[in-house]
Amino acid sequence: MSHYKVGYLIGSLAKGSINRQLANALIRLAPKELEFHEISFKDLPLYSYDYDADYPPEGKAFKQAIEDSDAVLFVTPEYNRSIPGGLKNAIDWASRPWGTNSFARKPSGVIGTSPGAIGTAIAQQQLRSVLSFCNSPQMNAPEAYIQFKPGLITPEGEVTDASTEEFLRNYMSEFHQFARRVLTVLPRKG
């Protein structure tokens, strides 16, 4: 099996985010061929095209972290029926300036959790629309809208419900296979 470096973005900036717990679970349940590193965006200023001529160090480092990843996994909450503003800002930084889109041809997956019954379904659909514009091939199935209940996942990423654990393990296996297929057809620029 092929080994891949996966950058993951947690849509919430909160230290105790349930989506961070979900990310920890996904990493624990992922095939051993996937190596993970968090790509933080908390230090990015609000994007403006005024920066395009001279990107600040935070913007350059963020873009480089995306480019150094073989695939990207988004683990995001839903805020007001949309993606969090910080996550959208980060995507804007990585996709600019024009012609230097770090997401182009980069396989991506989208997942999230929320206490609400529909999980993060609407935020995920909006995020998929943005990623489509950024030319990022997306894993469309299985979809994963996780309703978070207290105790479902520990802060360390241990899943306490066997069927949820099996579902998430399968999700990560599918993500690995998806990344392999995309990178076989669209190899990284060398």
Q: At 124, which CATH number?
A: 3.40.50.360
pTM over the 0.75 mark: yes
- 133 within a domain of the structure (yes/no): yes
Location of structure tokens 């959790």: 113
Confidence of residue 186 (pLDDT cuts 50, 70, 90): confident
Sign, CA torsion 94/90/136/157? positive
Find the domain containing 77 and state its range: 4-185
Q: How far is Cα 78 from Cα 121, in angstroms, rounded to an integer? A: 8
Percent of the chain residues topping a pLDDT of 90: 95
- 190 within a domain of the structure (yes/no): no
Q: With a cut of 80, say whether residue 187 has pLDDT above it.
A: no
Confidence of residue 95 (pLDDT cuts 50, 70, 90): very high
Nearest to 22 by CA among 167, 190, 132: 167
Q: With a cut of 60, say whether residue 79 has pLDDT above it.
A: yes
Q: pLDDT tens digits for 106-149?
A: 999 999 999 999 989 999 999 999 999 999 999 999 999 999 99
- 56 within a domain of the structure (yes/no): yes
- 97 within a domain of the structure (yes/no): yes
How many domains does the chain contain in total? 1
- 48 within a domain of the structure (yes/no): yes
Mean pLDDT, the chain, whole residue set:
96
pLDDT at 189: 65
Contact 8, 23 (CB under 8 A): yes
Q: Which two tokens stand for residue 63?
A: 């873009």
In 99-148, beta strands by DSSP E:
108-114, 145-147
- 143 within a domain of the structure (yes/no): yes
In the chain, beta strands by DSSP E:
4-10, 34-38, 71-75, 108-114, 145-147
Angle ∠(16,17,21) on CA atoms, nearest 5: 95
At 8 the three-state DSSP class reads strand
